Structure 1
C-alpha cells in the first residue's frame, strides 16, 4: 500500500534518520528532511559530511540504523522494490559500460525496467537528443569526454521516467564548460518537467545556482535549512576578509579586530581573518590602521556580499574550505591506517 495522502505531497519525507557503522561510527546523526514534489533540494557539505550515506539510505542501498523515511510515498525499508522503480539514482562514480555505445547503455537500462520494442528505442533516442549526445550515440563510451559520460549517466537514470532523481555530486571532476552544461540540464529537468531532484554537492556555487531550498550538512547533521537567499539574508552587511602576513599573531589580530569600530562576528581561519560589517568598505581603513598599530599587516583585503560560505561559517564555526581540508586529511589518515594494517 502507498503511504498516506499527506505524505504523498512530499517527494521525500525522512524522520530522525541515523546510520551507525561497526556500532560506533555515526555517519548520519538524526537527520529529518522534507522535500516537496517538483523541487530541487540541495544537500551542501564537505566530503565526509554524511551526504552520500544519507542518499544511500533514501535509495534503499543501505538500511537505516534507526528512524524512518519514505520516497515517492513508499517506505524505504518495507517497500524497497516500489522505491527503486520510482527513483533514478546517479552515483558519484560513473556506472556506464565504456565498452558499449551510449545507445546500447540506454537500451540495456530500459530493459532492466521492463521497457521493450519501439517504446524503448524511442525513449533512448529522445534522451540522447535531450543531452546533446545524438551524434555520438552509436560511438563506444570509452571515446566520450568526461562531460559526455556524465550526461549519459544522468540519461540512464531517466530511462524509466522516475518521479524522484538523486544526483550525488553530479559535476565532480568536470571542467567549467561541462559543469555549466550540466547545470542547464538539471534546471530543465526540474523547471520544464517538474521532476523532483535531490542534489548533493560540495560546490557552494552549484547549490546557490540550482537549489530552490538546501540543507547544510556537517558531521552527519543538518545544521541549517532554507532557501539560499533566505540563508544569506540572515547575515546582515558585508563579509570582510583579510589575509594576514606570514608569522602574524592571529589571536591578537582577532582581539584587535573585535574591538574595532563597525566590525562583528570576527574569527580566524589560519591566516585569514573574517568579520562582518554594515559598511565593509568604510570599516576597512580603520581596521587596517588598528592592526598596523600592533605591527600586524594584511597582504590582501576582500569585501563581499554574504555567500553560502559565510552561512556555513556562521553555523559550523569553520569555513567551508577548512572543512574540506579536514575531510581530506581524515581520508588520507584512514588510507594510511589501512595500508599499515595490510
Structure 2
C-alpha cells in the first residue's frame, strides 16, 4: 500500500511518502537559492511521492525568521520555478508548497524574538505574546485580516505560476491561523473571536480564497495541530469539527501535526506519537489525512496505512538523514518506486 498510487482531484501521487515541510533558514529576502535546489531536487531523485516546500511567508512580516522563504514577489516565484521545473523534468515526484504566516511567532532567530531594530513588529488576533518576556503583538484589525486573506490568494497565484502541484495552508504549530483557532490565543469579541465558528472564520476565508484559483489538477491540503496539549485549549474534538467543515470546503487532505501554540506545553514523544490524531480525524470525518511525527521506517509507514490511520506518510527528520528513504524502503519491501535511470545499476 505504501507504494500504491493515490489521487487527489486529478493529481496522482506514485506512492504515499511525503517530504514534510521543514524550514531551512537559508534565504536572502525570501528567495530560494542553490541550496534549496539541491535540497528538494535530491529528495525527488530519492523517489518521494510528494515534496512540500517549507513554510513560506505570504508577506515579509509573516516569516518566522529573516532567512525563511517568501512568495510575495516575482523574484521569489522565479526562484521556486527553477526548483519545480527540475523536479518535474527529472523525476516522477510531485511538489507542493506550504503557505503561512507566523503571526506572534515571527521575527525570531535561533528560537528567540528579535528586537525591533533587528526584526519587525509581530501581529496576532489578540495582544498576547507567545512567551513570557516577548513584546505584545499588534492586534489585527478586520481590514488587516481581509488583506491577509488576499495575501494568501496572491501567494497561491504565484505558486501556480511557479508550477507547484499542491497548495498547503499552514494552520498549525502556533502560527497565525492557529492563533485564531485557539481560545487561549484568540480573545477577540468580533466576528473572528469567541465561538468556534468565529475562531475558524479566518482559515475558512483563506480556504475559500485559495480554492477560487485552484482547478481539478491542483489539490488543497491544510496542516493543523490536532491538539495543543493545554487545558481549555484547542483539542482533537475541535480538530474533528474543523475537518468536517474543511471537507465541505473542498479541502482534499488534513495534514495532522500537533502543539506549537502554548509555550512550555508538555508533549510525550515516541515513534508515531501524532498518528492517533490523524486516525481520529480520518475515522470521524472520512476526509483523507496525513500522519507525521517520528515515523522512521517503511515498515512503520506501511502499518499506519494498513490500519487506515492515514492516507499519506509525512516524514521530516528521517528524510533529512536519508534523501533516498522511499527508494530504500521499496528495496526492503519489494515495492515499485521511481528510480533515476542514471542510477539503475545500483538498483539491487
TM-score by length of 2: 0.34
Greater gyration radius: 1
**Which of the two has greater helix per residue?**
1
Richer in strand (by share): 1
Q: What is the TM-score normalised by the length of structure 1?
A: 0.34
